[in-house]
């Protein structure tokens, strides 16, 4: 499709405030937006992807003074660091705007003057509560426990001459727009919050200039005032797209309105109330949609330097690589609710998903293609009924994944891809290529099996490219294919003769969790809590409360702690009585009227057993199918809810930092045949 025939998609992130280095919670937004941009390009859109930095305001002025530098020098350094991290994360943005760019400052002055001259802005005096970090004014009734309702910090009383925007003039028009465009704000909970907390109670006129500091864009007809930071910042979406007051612009007409603003949930109010009203006053179309994404948090709380719970994206990249970092950030963020990221959890995700599922599938498939066919396989040959389930999963994947991305259910989209990758791993076990290779008459069937696997990897990798672009490209190269065209992604059989790479390389390397965490803690990158160590200040506080014993007091006899269990030692002979074998889960279902129980059909060697396990809280039936597990095979059968359970699955159990129990299945590190002995 020629570029001029492509449909436009203009996507923006919020511009990042240059008060300091962005942490992984800030960085999530650029990665999320990059996934959307790359997916839209895959669908054939001509994407314009804009991001940048917000560089004015009192907070910047104070930060620069504390650093002993000028505000411009300060923001130049921080803006450079932000752009470096965005590029490090492989974000494919087309424009990086800065609100200190000369063209932007000029247009902000003209916009302010235009709104003043048409009567939407007037001069008055402001007296109220001001939050410096949020650059926001609040009334007494809006404060929460006397503090800023957005960030919870202290506010100060401010009184100064200011210009105001007549917000109430456009309130009815905005509510009508909400009614006529029900998808304007997503998720719907954000829309309800704006309606109930701000619009319906009545909008107050908005302060749009300040005189108490100087680091801002001057109001050109009244240079005692600088433009309020939100009127300055929000207009980047149109100035970056080519808007020039009083001028015609083919570029702007082609790009505006924006198709999507991606922003954090904490600044929804500015983007769905202030911003559309500014646009109405300018006579411009409103953006088509605003997505207020949740926060990516650490240890159950929003990241902040004062809490000591900050994770930086470049530290994650240094430890795990760009694509592994992108994957783990995206996997942990739901559509509407906040997500949580930690160092230990990141390692678990890399080992369980990227190594065991994706990397293992590619490595095994390419290695077998080289071993049995010298690296080249062709389409055709003998198909069997077992193939159809894999075909069906692959054919339906494109629409599921891109549908989830279009509705911003990014983690769900990733989950769909990894469900198919797991299905492909199961297909290897179902078809047993190593067995087919022993029979010359089965060579045609073996070629079909390997070709099916390579094509499945090609489809999955093409759809993984928006999430992990470099890794997807490596996987495709190893399989001897290029990314599959969008129109062929929902078909099976688009590829013909395939020649794989000579020697497969591992996409990801398994990490020794304890070793990696200890190294990160020793370098001061990860907190000691990742190792289960109590913070030093808590230890100190605890020891200070302990009374020093008197010298003449005999210490009491040690008593067994209340929760201690006597562990009976066993001999090696006792251990050998337990028969452990590798099993493969063929089918799984919930046990009726038993919330904790799942029923499994487990293949152990040549026999299939029914095993009931209390892990329904931690695993779904769907994700269990195809897994290799360790089974206690000589356990006496027992009835659970009327079902005879003929064995036990081994699990690792522990308590997480939040006090919740976690249960993880014990599984072989590499693919081994069902029935293999564990010893």
Q: How many CA atoms lie within 13 A of 51 on its CB side?
A: 25
Judge whether 71 and 215 are in contact, CB under 8 Å. Answer: yes
The reported pLDDT for the residue numbered 6 is 77
Q: How far is CA 67 from CA 35, 62, 77, 441, in A?
A: 36, 9, 12, 77
CB neighbours (10 Å) of residue 81? 16
* Interacting residues of 473 by C-beta distance below 8 A, sequence separation 6+: 465, 483
Is the full-model pTM beyond 0.85? no
How, if at all, do strands 628-632 and 648-649 pair? antiparallel
Which residue ranges of the chain lie beneath pLDDT 70? 1-5, 299-308, 534-576, 606, 622, 654-661, 670-671
Using the structure block, give the residue that is written with the tokens 């932007």.
104
What is the distance between the alpha carbons of residues 582 and 649, in angstroms, rounded to a whole number?
Answer: 10
Q: For 456-511, how does the pLDDT look when each residue is reduced to its tens digit (9 = 90+)?
A: 999 999 999 999 999 999 999 999 998 999 999 999 887 888 999 888 889 999 99
> What interhelical angle do 443-464 and 385-395 show, nearest 10?
10
pLDDT value, residue 129 = 87
Q: How many CB atoms lie within 10 A of CB 157?
A: 8
Domains contained in the chain, CATH given = 364-499 (1.10.730.10), 572-678 (2.40.50.140)
State whether residue 15 is helix, strand or coil: coil
pLDDT for the residue numbered 474:
97
Tokens of 203: 């909008």
The pLDDT score that the predictor gives to residue 556 is 36
HEC assignment per residue over 630-666: EEECCCCCEEECCEEECCEECEEEEECCCCCEEEEEC
Selection from 23, 24, 91 nearest residue 52 by Cα: 91
What are the distances in angstroms from CA 2 to CA 6, 20, 72, 239, 252?
A: 7, 42, 42, 27, 21
């Amino acid at each position: 499709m020629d570029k001029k025939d492509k449909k436009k998609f203009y996507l923006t992130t919020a511009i990042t405030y240059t008060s300091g280095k962005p942490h992984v919670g800030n960085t999530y937004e650029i990665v999320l937006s990059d996934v959307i941009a790359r997916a839209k390009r895959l669908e054939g859109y001509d994407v314009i992807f804009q991001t940048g930095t917000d560089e004015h305001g009192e907070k910047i002025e104070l930060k620069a003074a504390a650093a002993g530098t000028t505000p411009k020098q300060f923001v130049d350094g921080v803006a450079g660091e932000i752009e470096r991290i965005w590029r490090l994360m492989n974000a494919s943005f087309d424009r990086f705007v800065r609100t200190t760019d000369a063209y932007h400052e000029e247009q902000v002055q003209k916009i302010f003057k235009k709104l003043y001259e048409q009567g939407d802005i007037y001069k008055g005096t402001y007296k109220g509560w001001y939050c410096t970090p949020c650059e926001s004014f609040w009334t007494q009734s809006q404060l929460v426990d006397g503090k800023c309702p957005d960030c919870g910090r202290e506010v100060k009383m401010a009184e100064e001459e200011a210009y105001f925007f007549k917000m109430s003039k456009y309130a009815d028009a905005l509510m009508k727009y909400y009614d006529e465009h029900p998808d304007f704000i997503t998720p719907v909970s954000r829309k309800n919050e704006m309606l109930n907390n701000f619009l319906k109670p009545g909008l107050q006129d908005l302060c749009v200039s300040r005189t108490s500091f100087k680091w801002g864009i001057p109001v050109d007809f009244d240079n005692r005032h600088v433009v309020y930071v939100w009127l300055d910042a929000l207009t980047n979406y149109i100035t970056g797209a080519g808007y020039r007051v009083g001028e015609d612009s083919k570029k702007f007409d082609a790009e505006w309105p924006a198709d999507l603003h991606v922003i954090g949930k904490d600044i929804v109010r500015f983007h769905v109330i202030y911003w559309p009203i500014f646009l109405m006053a300018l006579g411009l179309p409103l953006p088509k949609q605003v997505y207020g994404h949740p926060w990516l948090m650490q240890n159950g709380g929003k990241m902040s330097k004062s809490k000591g719970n900050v994770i930086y994206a470049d530290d994650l990249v240094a430890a795990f690589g760009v694509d592994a970092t992108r994957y783990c950030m995206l996997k942990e963020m739901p559509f509407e609710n906040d997500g949580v990221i930690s160092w230990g959890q990141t390692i678990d995700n890399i080992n369980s998903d990227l190594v065991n599922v994706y990397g293992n599938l590619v490595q095994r498939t390419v290695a077998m293609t080289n071993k049995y066919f010298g690296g080249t396989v062709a389409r055709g040959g003998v198909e069997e009924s077992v193939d159809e389930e894999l075909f069906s999963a692959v054919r339906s994947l494109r629409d599921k994944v891109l549908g989830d991305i279009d509705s911003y259910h990014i983690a769900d989209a990733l989950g769909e891809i990894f469900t198919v990758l797991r299905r492909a791993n199961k297909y290897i076990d179902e078809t047993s290529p190593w067995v087919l290779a022993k029979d010359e008459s089965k060579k045609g069937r073996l070629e079909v099996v390997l070709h099916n696997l390579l094509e499945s990897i090609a489809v999955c990798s093409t759809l993984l490219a928006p999430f992990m672009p470099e890794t997807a490209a490596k996987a495709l190269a190893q399989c001897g294919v290029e990314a599959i065209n969008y129109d062929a992604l929902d078909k099976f059989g688009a590829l013909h003769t395939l020649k794989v790479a000579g020697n497969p390389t591992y996409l990801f390397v398994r990490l020794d969790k304890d070793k990696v965490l200890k190294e990160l803690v020793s370098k001061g990158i990860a907190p000691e809590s990742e190792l289960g160590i109590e913070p030093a200040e808590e230890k100190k506080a605890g020891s200070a409360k302990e009374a020093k014993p008197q010298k003449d007091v005999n210490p009491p006899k040690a008593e067994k702690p209340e929760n201690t269990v006597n562990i009976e030692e066993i001999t090696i002979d006792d251990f050998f009585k337990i028969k452990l074998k590798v099993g493969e889960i063929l089918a799984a279902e919930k046990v009726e009227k038993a919330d904790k129980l799942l029923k499994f059909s487990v293949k152990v060697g040549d026999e299939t057993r029914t095993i009931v396990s209390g892990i329904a809280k931690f695993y779904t039936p769907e994700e269990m199918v195809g897994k290799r597990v360790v089974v206690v095979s000589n356990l006496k059968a027992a009835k659970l809810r009327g079902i005879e359970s003929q064995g036990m699955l081994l699990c690792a159990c522990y308590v997480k930092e939040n006090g919740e129990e976690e249960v993880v299945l014990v599984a072989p590190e590499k693919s081994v045949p069902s029935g293999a002995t564990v010893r």
